Amino acid sequence: MKQLIEECLRRVCTVKFPNNGEPSHINRPTTGRFNDSLFFTLNGREMIFRMAPPEDQGFLFYERNMMAQEPEIHRIVREETDVPVAEILIYDDSRLIAPRPYLIMDRLPGVPLPEARHASKSAVYRQIGEHLRAVHEITADKYGYLGAHKPMEAAANWPDAFEIMWNKLLDDVVDCGGYSVQQSDRFRRLLDRERGMFERDIESSLLHMDIWAENILVDEEGNVSGIVDWDRALWGDPEIEFAVLDYCGVLVPAFWQGYGAPKEASPRAQRRAIYYYLYEMQKYIVIERRRRGNPAFADRYGSEALLIASQM
């Protein structure tokens, strides 16, 4: 597979950068599981080539063609914040040069947090809090997955958006054999019953939705030098981002010091957090069944979700 991706990279460089010579120092990143990626150097400039996975890889509803939204997300974050995000130089979904959509972007300095042995995690997570506060202050007038990949209709409010997302995810779980129709209906009825908890005045914030250790780059001084993998970005309630961060072990006290505002701790917020946790956790039923071929792992996630539902 690496040889195929490398051949695509060389073709792309020949067409898109005809006067810059051959790519060199080509190697695979140690992280990243969804796209096919290569680090490379061209005319002294360090870059990343990323090609979308084959279309038969068993996507979640919002993963289909999600690379298409990255150029706009990167542009917005770069223009409106100081968050370290790479410049995307090329995005091409024509399939004229490569068999699948691809992009080329600058390579940011640093290494993924698990490889940064010298870094203070508290300092890193405090900086992540600062950066995400800036990202969350970017707002839109619609809610949901609003990118060019268009996995859903944009909603006028967050409760409508989350209901669409919730039901589309359950459709994916049923489709892969993770739940029966009756089991999925149980989750649908739960949200119907408690929809009122989500009906509050909240702006549609830009949310990364995939911040975990491997998507945080750290430089030699222990500072955050990059936040990567924005393709799962969502517009909506920051509380759903917090659920992902909590799941990934990022919601430590230092994060909140950087974020500069406490998480709401009301009973209604705690109840919403259960739904947001379920939304994050149930995606792994699909991922383990469709993409990784691990139905036993998928069933563990399903059993945990069903147990939580039985207690709600």
3-state per-residue secondary structure call for 1-65: CHHHHHHHHHHHHHHHCCCCCCCEEEECCCCCCCCEEEEEEECCEEEEEEECCCCCCCCCCCCCC
**pLDDT at position 62:** 97
CATH 3.30.200.20 fits 2-108, yes or no: yes
* Boundaries of every domain in the chain: 2-108, 113-310
pLDDT at residue 280 is higher than 80: yes
- Collapsing DSSP to helix, strand or coil, 220 comes out as coil
- Would you state the pLDDT for residue 1? 60
Question: How far from each other are the two terminal CA atoms of the chain, in whole angstroms?
Answer: 46
CA dihedral 36, 39, 50, 132 (to 10 degrees): 110
- Tens digits of per-residue pLDDT, 155-170? 999 999 999 999 999 9
pTM of the model: 0.93
* Per-residue pLDDT tens digits for 123-150: 999 999 999 999 999 999 999 999 999 9
The pLDDT, as a whole number, for residue 117 is: 87
What are 26-57's pLDDT values in tens digits?
999 877 678 889 999 999 999 999 999 988 77
Residue range 83-88: mean pLDDT, rounded:
98
Would you tell me how many other CB atoms lie within 10 Å of the CB of residue 236? 27
Q: For the ranges 25-39, 80-94, 98-112, 185-199, which has the lowest average pLDDT?
A: 25-39
pLDDT digits (tens, 9 = 90+) for 209-259: 999 999 999 999 999 999 999 999 999 999 999 999 999 999 999 999 999
Supply the mean pLDDT for the chain: 94
Domains 2-108 and 113-310 share a fold: no
- Residue 32: per-residue pLDDT: 67
- Residues 104-123: pLDDT tens digits? 999 999 999 999 988 899 99
Q: pLDDT-based confidence at 2, cuts 50/70/90?
A: low
- Rounded distance, CA 115 to CA 214, Å? 9
* Domain 113-310 class, CATH top level: alpha beta
pLDDT at residue number 56 = 79
